[in-house]
Structure 1
Amino acid sequence: MIFSWRHKRANRRGQARKNEALEGNCDLELTIPKHFQCPISLDLMKDPVTLSTGITYDRENIERWIEAGNQTCPVTNQALKSFDQIPNHSIRRMIQDWCVENKSYGVERIPTPRIPITPYEVSEISSKIVAATTRKDGNKCQELVGKIRNLAKESERNKKRVVENGVGYVLSSSFETFAGDSMEKHEVLLKEILSALTWMFPLGIEGQSKLGSSASLRCIAWFLHGEDLSTRQHAVMVLKELLANSLDHQISDGLIEIEGISEALFKILKVPIGPTATKASLMVTYYMLQSEKSEKLASRFVEMGLVSLVVEMLVDGEKSTSEKALGVLEAICNWEEGREKACSNALTMPLLVKKILRVSEMGTEFAVSTLSKLCKEVEDENPVIEALEVGAFQKLLVVLQVGCGENTKEKITELLKLMNLYRNRIDCFDSLSGFKYIQRPY
């Protein structure tokens, strides 16, 4: 395989003549020795490993091959008796020497790869964390959690191995124990665990139970009120994953009972920490509003100004944020207070209609559902008239033509029947104008 590396020119005064000689030949072609290339990618191997068949591959490529379900050697097509990957140090050192020799061609020396952590090593660390937690030895536990985080930072391979070997459950259990003992005393440790848990989901039923306990939830909510922006982001990210993986509303119900949780979530939305925290907060809010116990929560959110806030997010929010904002708006319109607040905002109806077919399939469903609630469940006719004035009838026709779910189709059909009763009141209404939207990109 041949790569063209541009010859680097020295800037030293004493090599002026050498530079002149190289100027006419600065685009030299350099050939990578065939035995340095990975048979799968044909690229220079960075971490050569040998399989049981004796063929050497770059670790990342052969792992991807095996993870795809293949059980044979790509080169020999022999069935693999073992999936063990033995580091080929000889080839690796030869490649590094070759890189050094060709440094003048712009070739950078590949670093010596770190040996991936083994399941046994992960199990050993987990056992030590369990023992330290049992003794309530916060310092030792913090040291071990730090070791887990450092290993995960070394490579995605290590991170995956940590998750696969159940460390998430171990840390969830440890978090519950130390949170129940004293949040103030173990604050630093709890922050470390919370940070690590952000990438360890799903935790499994037992892990969910530990992290969704009363002690754990109160600790997470406590961090949401803190001044440390990074910890607040980690807290809301963990809550989002907890609720997303929950099979019932038990965790949502537990959160609702915690005093000040609505204020903490609203603060993240009103004074953003970053896009990740904003989206996570919107999702947590949405999940909580689905609970049967969320009436008081919804009322509190309306009082704080959540409706206006999510409507503002729809003005120039990117698609992912807009989808989640539409979900929160749809959820809060389940209550009369939410619907009244949404109707009183002049931007609500135009933005709902505008976002149809422009965000995502889920975003369209949320927008149609919200329109249905505002037009059908508000006593006066103003929402219907306003929806017609901003082109809702035309947009809904297009959704039917493009295709949508049965539930959304049913809501659109009912909306069109309702709007049809008021069409004559709109002087500028043109029943055919809606079809111009068909050719437009959304």
Structure 2
Amino acid sequence: MANDNARRIMNFPAIRPCESVALTSLLSSMINLGHKICGYKSRTLFANKKNARSSILLIESLLVFLEEIRNEGSMVGDSLVLSLSELYWVFQKVHFLLEDCTRVDARLLMLVNSEKVSNHLRVLIRAIALAMDVMSLAGLDVDIEVIELVDLVRTRARKATVEFERVDRRFVRKVLLIVNKFERGIAPESRDLRRILEHLGIRSWNECNREVKFLESEMSKECLTSDKRDLGLLSSLMAFLIYCRCILFEDIDSVKSDFQQRDGGFSSEMIQGLNSDDFNCPITLEIMTDPVTISTGQTYDRLSILKWFRSGNRTCPKTGERLMYTDLVQNLALKQLVTQYCSEKRIPFSETDVRNHGIVKSSIAGAGSLAAAQAMSLLAKYLAGRLAVGTIQEQQKAAYEIRLLTKSSSFNWTCCVEVGETIPSLLNLLCLGNPAAQENAMAALLNLSKYPKTNQLVAGNGGLNLVVDVLNEGLKPEARQHAAGALFYLSSVENNKREIGKMTGSISGLMNLLRDGSDRAKKNALLTIFVLLMCPENHSKFLESGLVPLLKNMLTNSEREELTTHSLATLSTLSEKLDGSMAIIHSGTLPIIIQIFNSSTSKPAEEYCVSLLLSLCINAGTYTVPFFIKNSSLMESLYSTLTSGTTHSSKKASSLLRILHAFDENVSDSSIASGTSQEQVVTAW
């Protein structure tokens, strides 16, 4: 049996047993599979209820015959083995179908595919009838009752009528009518939406959101196919469910996700003791939505490591080990743990997120279908209205929905921003004194600030000051973290760099995050500081605020490679000016930089180190050049970078070596002329 976690829904990779398979093994496998199929009698079916139960009853009857053969150990002929092999193949197909029909996260998709499922079941029951027709019972030492049962199953399989069930047909029509309304820009009636969800047993926000996440996963897989023929349908169904999630459910409930109810889940006590930083990808420092393991045993988010490989890198980003092959193995255990942790901690988590597989490409291109585009436009207006005139609970819910919608799709950004009231209303939520509302509004603004038009709207509505206020006085650490991230995108506008640098509390707030924030907050702060330093007026302000000692502390104490790299990048920018170079030297950071350069396997870290060392030589050579020449390990690392580094780092290393060689030659000439040893000259210099 194929791993169901690795296959797409409505995909049935059944395999036929080999010709040399032992009869006992074949019978045992069939009986085990038959019992699994019969186990679906106790599970809820959301479509094809009659057809599925008829198939289960048919196989249940066959189990009696199969167990009788196994118990008696009768001699059987080739025709019977051939029939059993065919039945085993059918059993697999039926099992896959029933697994899909009972999935609690795929109810809508299976409803829409119910006619296709009924056609599959019809073909499979006919295959059972055919296998039974050619089955020879001659020579079998079994009771007459068993033979009569086989005849009965054969007759029932021949006469079985499997058709598109009337109730499924009716609700499929209702779904398609609503999709058609979306395409025409018409908002459907809430009661029509509610009837469909009630039929599917979707009664809570979490259950609806689980369906959305499943469809996102299917869309990401569809984007990897060549024809992408189902992408439009999947997009429309996902838009249907998102619309229902936002319109019908007032409360975001805390129902346990289905994986927690399955065997093999992790205990709540274990989850409570974990730190979300443990689930971050070493490359992006973001929570891994699709963790995969490479040949070195290190785990990364799939899209991050693929981007690393596509950039021409054939090394492990964390260990630097050169890879013989770049195969990825999905880490299902970690994925389950991450999902459960996010659910229990109420951390917004989208299985495909902006990073997963290829869904980003479809999001950038558009909504995926006309129905999805129009539904999102209608929903953006609805949510903007809730933000503007709703109760505090309705405003908080609307902000949370916008936060989710804008996390992964540029099309959703556009829809929300184009509704003029969205940005001012989110800014107003920052000041209401409600921790959850402030956090969700700030996170939504962070997502929306990636869209250029948002910068104008935020600045035009006094939003820069409000974001800086949250950076310093946010009611939750997460809100302050999101504020730093929003400032990073808002600083992409040149005027905003200057304005943010002038604001009281902007620099000190970022410094406080660097000092006391979580790793992700530190990352946001570092990125924002890096961008703000591009404005010359901010350079001295950060130096006066003690940025260099904080960065030194980051280099010394941080275990996150990405934080080390961002710290080096910021120091490299500071070192481009004389006062920055002197601050780095006087802080005692230079030996730490050299140690990292000598030991790091990260190409970005290596590049920033070389740039830093070169700037220090140019701006403060009197202090640095003699120290570098005396450091033999540094010289070895520079030569190594010259031959195996990136193009940029190799050029920097070459320039730095020329400076050091020139100084070395001058010292040698001076020592010969004066009769003083080179070591004495270097020490005195």
Q: TM-score normalised to the size of structure 1?
A: 0.66
Aligned pair in 2 of structure 1 residues 394, 158: CA closer, same or farther (>3 Å)? closer
**Separation (CA, whole Å) in 2 of partners of 1:158 and 1:227:** 22
**1:216 matches 2:463:** yes
1:329 CA drift (Å): 0.6
Tell me the amino acid that sits aligned with residue 586 of structure 2: S
**Separation (CA, whole Å) in 2 of partners of 1:107 and 1:347:** 48
5 Å matches for 1:7-156? 29-30=32-33, 31=36, 34-37=93-96, 45=103, 46-47=105-106, 49=109, 55=116, 59=215, 62-68=218-224, 70-71=226-227, 120-131=374-385, 137=389, 139-140=390-391, 143-147=394-398, 149=400
**1:363 matches 2:610:** no
Aligned pair in 2 of structure 1 residues 53, 129: CA closer, same or farther (>3 Å)? closer
1:385 CA drift (Å): 1.7
1:214 CA drift (Å): 6.7
Q: What does residue 263 of structure 1 align with?
A: 508
**Separation (CA, whole Å) in 2 of partners of 1:170 and 1:202:** 14
**Separation (CA, whole Å) in 1 of partners of 2:225 and 2:613:** 46
1:206 to 446, 453, 464: 453
Q: Deviations over 1:244-272 (max 9, x none)?
A: xx3x423212211212211111111122x
Higher CA-based Rg: 2
**1:194 matches 2:449:** no
Q: What does residue 314 of structure 1 align with?
A: 555
Give yes or no for contact 1:52–1:81 (8 Å, CA) kept in 2: no
Which secondary structure state, in structure 1, belongs to the residue aligned with residue 532 of structure 2? helix
1:55 CA drift (Å): 4.3
Tell me the amino acid that sits aligned with residue 66 of structure 1: E
Which secondary structure state, in structure 1, belongs to the residue aligned with residue 537 of structure 2? coil
Q: Deviations over 1:144-199 (max 9, x none)?
A: 4514525877xxx99646963635526896334674x7964577655431123344
**Separation (CA, whole Å) in 2 of partners of 1:360 and 1:301:** 27
User: Which stretches in structure 1 are left out of the alignment for 5+ residues?
Assistant: 4-27, 74-78, 88-104, 109-116, 430-442
Q: TM-score normalised to the size of structure 2?
A: 0.45
**Separation (CA, whole Å) in 2 of partners of 1:303 and 1:107:** 54
**1:280 matches 2:531:** no
Give yes or no for contact 1:330–1:369 (8 Å, CA) kept in 2: yes
**1:347 matches 2:592:** no
**Separation (CA, whole Å) in 2 of partners of 1:61 and 1:265:** 36
Which secondary structure state, in structure 1, belongs to the residue aligned with residue 620 of structure 2? coil
Give yes or no for contact 2:406–2:447 (8 Å, CA) kept in 1: no
Q: Deviations over 1:109-128 (max 9, x none)?
A: xxxxxxxx965554333213
Give yes or no for contact 1:171–1:193 (8 Å, CA) kept in 2: no
Tell me the amino acid that sits aligned with residue 291 of structure 1: C
1:397 CA drift (Å): 0.8
Q: What does residue 337 of structure 1 align with?
A: 579
**1:383 matches 2:539:** no
Give yes or no for contact 2:430–2:466 (8 Å, CA) kept in 1: yes
Aligned pair in 2 of structure 1 residues 237, 344: CA closer, same or farther (>3 Å)? same
5 Å matches for 1:220-259? 220-226=467-473, 228=475, 229-243=477-491, 246=492, 248-259=493-504
**Separation (CA, whole Å) in 1 of partners of 2:402 and 2:527:** 30
Aligned pair in 2 of structure 1 residues 414, 85: CA closer, same or farther (>3 Å)? closer
Q: Which has the higher helix share?
A: 2
Which stretch of structure 1 is more off in the superposition, 213-222 or 167-176?
167-176
Which secondary structure state, in structure 2, belongs to the residue aligned with residue 290 of structure 1? coil
Which secondary structure state, in structure 2, belongs to the residue aligned with residue 37 of structure 1? helix
**Separation (CA, whole Å) in 1 of partners of 2:453 and 2:96:** 45
**Separation (CA, whole Å) in 2 of partners of 1:414 and 1:238:** 37
Give yes or no for contact 1:225–1:264 (8 Å, CA) kept in 2: yes
Aligned residues: 358
Q: Considering only aligned residues, what root-mean-square deviation do their CA atoms show, in Å?
A: 4.3
1:319 CA drift (Å): 0.9
Q: What does residue 541 of structure 2 align with?
A: 300
**Separation (CA, whole Å) in 2 of partners of 1:360 and 1:411:** 16
**Separation (CA, whole Å) in 1 of partners of 2:235 and 2:93:** 24
Aligned pair in 2 of structure 1 residues 214, 303: CA closer, same or farther (>3 Å)? farther
**Separation (CA, whole Å) in 1 of partners of 2:232 and 2:415:** 29
1:288 CA drift (Å): 0.3
User: Which stretches in structure 2 are left out of the alignment for 5+ residues?
Assistant: 4-30, 38-91, 121-213, 239-261, 266-370, 669-677
Aligned pair in 2 of structure 1 residues 355, 384: CA closer, same or farther (>3 Å)? same
